[in-house]
Amino acid sequence: MLVDILIKNPDANVKALTKQMDLQSELKRQHQAAFVYRLKRFAASKVGLSSAFIAGVAVQSGKSETSLIRKYGWLIRLIG
């Protein structure tokens, strides 16, 4: 009886708390991994959108003769 009170009951509580903490740390790790994945996808989509925009501006600069874009088309081609 003394062994149950001093050793087994606290050990069961420690095991339950350890399991709970492991679960929380795993959830935090999964959340962080999902956040990093979304951040990478967002960065990739921004790069894709900006390069498509620059390509569209470059095409338009070749079509128009007197526009402001035509004046700076060389710069857009250089960036793209």
Q: What is the pTM of this model?
A: 0.47
Cα distance between residue 59 and residue 72, in whole Å: 12
The number of domains in the chain is 1
Model pLDDT, residue 68: 61
Quick one: average pLDDT of 37-53?
Answer: 75
Structure tokens at 14: 């420690």
Quick one: average pLDDT of 50-71?
Answer: 65
Q: Give the position of tokens 């069961």.
A: 12
Residue 33 has pLDDT above 80, yes or no: yes
Quick one: average pLDDT of 25-44?
Answer: 87
Domain boundaries, position 57? 2-79
pLDDT level of residue 76 (50, 70, 90 thresholds) = low
Structure tokens at 47: 């790069």
